[in-house]
A and B are shown apart, each in its own frame.
Chain A
Amino acid sequence: MRKLLTGGAIIIAVILVLLGLKTYLVQAQDNQQHSDKVLDFYNWGDYIDPDLLVKFTKETGYQVNYNTFDSNEAMFTKIKQGGTSYDLTVPSDYTVNKMIQANLLEPLDYNRLVGMNNYYPRLLNQTFDPQNRYSIPYFWGTLGILYNKKVISASSVAHWNNLWDSKFKDQILLVDSARDILGMTLVSQAKSMNDQSTADLAAAQGKLTSLMPNVKAIVADELKMYMAQGEANIGITYSGEAAQAMAKNPDLAYQVPSEGSNEWFDNFVIPRNARHKDAAYAFINFMNQPQNAAQNAKYIGYATPNQKAYELLPKSVQNNRQFYPSQVTLDKLEVYQNLGQKWTEKYNDAFLEFKMTKR
């Protein structure tokens, strides 16, 4: 008993000492940073060139606290709980819409924004945030087919319907996402990715179930690693993930079926409870500058919505139809609408039932 108490007392003492030390260090750091010259940036992991953060601090004096999340839902929940305040975060399209509806975002003051006409007008004013009242695009991309050039010819995976070909038995990796996989099936049936008809969804689920013999596995972020390792020959995934896999394995190629697919956007938004809004505006303006956006696009490998930045990129990147698709394909791309709770669940239930299918 005595030992237990002494042990407990030692643990508590250590905790108190560490806590005191932490408070002291944080204060010291705050003094150094003049406390309000900070930007609390909440972004996806490894989703900005770190050199740019250094450059931003040098130019503006704002110290960047970079925090990361790994899913829109996790980020949404954390912002909604409101325990920690962030000045800037990067939700995807449908989450921007959800955050607007939940009243979590600060409307943007366009008088404080510089360089907004650097952006492609085509990529602005999307349905998830009309007139970009709350959000500014950071990167955009597509959903498509990543394949191994050595084994698969480009023409044999040019269309979504090709995936159902029996010669691809046990070859395909699917991304574990109801919207994307059912969406791709809906497009293959000439329907919208935002379809809200029970009959269409049931038909899509039926068609998807018949894809099961060709499906090797349904995985998440690991998909890019499996593809790079050569574990499978075909993967259905996002352009950004595909770019990372292709950087590791030159045998891989990516294409967007011309009949249509999803077009996604990751966007800067300022949460309502942000404490350093000046810093947030300073950062958005910094990233609006073409040379910074171009440097970031080169580092991340995703498509930049900044037209002036695009013009600064090497010709090989500019003409890369894998990541900057042709106008014909672009016209067919659809952005996900926020379907609301009921339909989100319908899509997910259908996908769960598909996953339960035995081979």
Chain B
Amino acid sequence: MLVNKNKFSFTRLTFYSTYGLWLLLFVIAPLMLLLWQSLVGSDGHLTLQNYQTFFVSGTYLTMAFNSVWYAFIITAVTLLISYPAAYIINSLKYKQFWLLLIILPTWINLLLKTYAFIGILAKTGPINQLAESLGLGTHQLLFSDWSFIIVAAYIEIPFMILPIFNSLTDIDPVLEQASRDLGANRWQTLKNVIWPLSLPGVKSGIQAVFIPSLSLFMVTRLIGGNRVITLGTAIEQHFLVTQNWQFGSTIGVVLIIAMVITMLLTREK
């Protein structure tokens, strides 16, 4: 063991230093820059002014609440669809193939998928044509809360299914058989055996979906028609339009804190 360790010490060193350098350059340094920017006032001095502006402004607090609320709904909808989907895929014969089909859309650019939905949900799109031919009339589907949530959930589903599927495959099938042998029905088995064992996957799924959903912004404009305003919209505005990078960074830091809280709440015990 000792010999082994020495033999690999050089590789270990290169590995750790590369990894450390990467972390420093691309994770820690940007975060520090963001924090630094958020602490600088318009006059260039260190101040908590930006945070004060954020926390006394009704607009930004409402927006923060909106972001959390929509992210919560998106995560709930995604989970509701993904858990049964992962469960069914896991029980299929060619499960890796079916999983691949679910993962496939992530290979396509997010913006392209969103534009595709504009076509689908438009007044002249296939859904409305179908409704029309069934005599249900044309409806306004775009620019509503629901269309926004559906598209956001569609985008996030693979990131929820994948961890849940992985934790489901890890469960020894013998456990399920044992549960059934001991008299539990399908539902009881699912509730008392499978669900608790797959919880780690559900938790990482929630992290993978809730966190990016907090700062979605292109979808809010393209599908939500800016009827849904989240902190992502405000960050975009402050970096690109008003060029108040300090305040944009402040919102960024607030979002990061919200994400850290999410991580803590869903972490492995």
- Point out residues on A near B: beta carbons under 8 Å: 1, 4-5, 71, 73-74, 77, 170, 173, 176, 178, 216-220, 222, 225, 229-231, 341, 344-345, 348-349, 352-353, 355-356, 359
Contact = CB atoms under 8 A, between A and B. Distances in A.
Contact of B226 (A170, A344, A349, A355): A355
Contact of B11 (A1, A74, A229): A1
B225 interface: yes
Given A216-B225, A230-B124, A73 B234 contact: no
20 contacts: A5-B11, A73-B240, A176-B221, A176-B226, A216-B225, A217-B142, A217-B224, A217-B225, A217-B227, A222-B222, A229-B123, A229-B124, A341-B242, A344-B242, A344-B243, A348-B241, A349-B59, A352-B234, A352-B237, A353-B59
B218 to A, nearest CB: 10
Interface string B108-128: 000000000010001110000
A222 B224 CA distance: 12
Contact of A356 (B59, B240, B242): B59
Contacts of B237: 348, 352
B166 interface: no
Contacts of A176: 221, 226
B221 A220 contact: yes
Contacts of B221: 176, 218-220, 222
Interface centre among B8, B62, B143, B234 (most CB of A within 10 A): B143
A345 B242 contact: yes
* Residue among A4, A349, A355 with the highest chain B CB neighbour number at 10 A: A355
Contacts of B258: none
B227 A73 contact: no
Contacts of A1: 8, 11, 15
B123 A217 contact: no
Nearest to A173: B225
Contacts of A218: 221, 225-227
Given A1-B8, A348-B241, A219 B222 contact: yes
B74 interface: no
A229 B241 contact: no
A348 B140 CA distance: 29
A225 B118 CA distance: 10
Interface string B215-234: 00000011011110100011
A12 B224 CA distance: 43
Interface of B: 8, 11, 15, 42, 59, 62-63, 118, 122-124, 140, 142-143, 221-222, 224-227, 229, 233-234, 237, 240-244
Contacts of B122: 229, 231
Nearest to A220: B221
Among B11, B123, B240, B241: residue with most chain A CB under 10 A: B241
Task: Please classify the interface of chain A as helix (H, G, I), strand (E, B), loop, or mixed, using the class held by over half of its residues.
Answer: helix
B123 A231 contact: yes
Given A229-B123, A356-B59, A73 B142 contact: no
Nearest to B243: A73
B70 to A, nearest CB: 13
A231 B124 CA distance: 8
A230 B123 CA distance: 7
Given A1-B15, A230-B123, 10 more contacts: A71-B240, A216-B140, A218-B227, A219-B221, A219-B222, A219-B225, A231-B123, A352-B233, A355-B233, A356-B59
A341 B59 contact: no
Contact of B244 (A170, A216, A341): A341
Contacts of B224: 217
B109 to A, nearest CB: 16
B268 to A, nearest CB: 25
Nearest to B63: A356
Contacts of A216: 140, 143, 225
Contacts of B233: 352, 355
Given A1-B11, A170-B140, A345 B244 contact: yes
A353 B118 CA distance: 26
A356 B142 contact: no
Nearest to A2: B11
A345 B8 CA distance: 57
